[in-house]
Amino acid sequence: MKVLVTGAEGQLGRLLLYTAPAGAEVAGWGRADLDIGDAEAVQVRVQALKPALIINAAAYTAVDKAESEPDLAARVNAAGPANLAAAAQAVGARLVQVSTDFVFDGAAGSPYRADAPTNPLGVYGCTKRDGELAVLRALPQHALIVRTAWVYAAQGRNFLHTMLRLLRERGAVRVVADQVGTPTSARCLARALWRLADAGTCGVCHWTDAGVASWYDFAVAIAEEAAALGLLPAGAAVTPIATADFPTPARRPAYSVLDKSSLPAGLAPAHWRQELRAVLKEI
């Protein structure tokens, strides 16, 4: 089966290429190969390739910067998926669109079901929600939206690497303890996306690793597991702080645990701490 992966040079895109199943003939296009915000280029390139499946891992992911660049964020996160959906429709392809826990406002006290009402707090979440809606409108029977959260990998810009760098340089970090979600290995997410695509799943579903953590819990686990592997000296100081002590341009959901009960049978994530160990071993 011919598959197009867009955003192929991002942390998830790279892992989609590494984990592609044997039968898939994958074209991995980075931003230089295809700007998904360019409607005409998307039509022309997709027509020429004629994939049976498109997995869109391209996105504008700079959550804070999006507050001052709303047009660019919307071009990539809302118009981009709409362009891909139109092109997929023209060639009869299915589309898997990756989305985010930031479509929710974080006011819930129990995990968000896939059919829970969305209410994004900032520009990034709004544009990702608009991308979801555009895809579902264009391809109601042939698209899957997979929302995920707190994605990290052995390569790429992510919280894991920020913590390792800060702990190496300073031996101490202060991390917010009042935002709760689930760290998610990009490798496990990529494998799950291939399984979901293969199963022909449609609609909206959620994938994260299992369990619940605050950013503080995640940082403590990084410090402990990295020390156990000899990547950091033992005894780094991780101090919990409140979101109010670390103001950022974008508001973030305080609680964004995603309910994964709508996943097909046989597809179950492992605990995030187990996956953290596996990712650290890759570094």
Whether 41 and 34 have beta carbons less than 8 Å apart is answered as yes
d(CA 279, CA 186): 9
Confirm whether 152 is a catalytic residue: no
- Residue 30 CB, shortest distance to ligand NAP, in Å, is 6
SS3 state at 96: strand
DSSP 257: P
Which C-beta is closer to ligand NAP: that of 108 or that of 227? 108
SS3 state at 119: coil
- Residue 147 CB, shortest distance to ligand NAP, in Å, is 7
Nearest CA to 149 out of 114, 178, 194, 182 is that of 182
Calculate helix-pair angle for 11-18, 186-199, nearest 10 degrees: 60
Q: Rg of the Cα trace of the chain?
A: 18
**Which residue's CB atom is positioned nearest to ligand NAP?**
10
Which residues of this protein are in contact with ligand NAP, per CB under 6 A? 6-7, 9-13, 30-31, 35-37, 57-61, 76, 80, 98, 100, 128, 148-151, 156
Which residue type, as a one-letter code, is found at position 248? T
Which C-beta is closer to ligand NAP: that of 8 or that of 280? 8
Question: What's the N-to-C CA distance of the chain in angstroms?
Answer: 32
SS3 state at 133: helix
> Which one from 18, 60, 112, 124 is the annotated catalytic residue?
124
Which C-beta is closer to ligand NAP: that of 38 or that of 224? 38
- Residue 37 CB, shortest distance to ligand NAP, in Å, is 4
Whether 32 and 82 have beta carbons less than 8 Å apart is answered as no
Which C-beta is closer to ligand NAP: that of 57 or that of 82? 57
d(CA 178, CA 164): 21
Which C-beta is closer to ligand NAP: that of 4 or that of 23? 4
- Residue 28 CB, shortest distance to ligand NAP, in Å, is 11
- Residue 171 CB, shortest distance to ligand NAP, in Å, is 26
Active site residues: 124
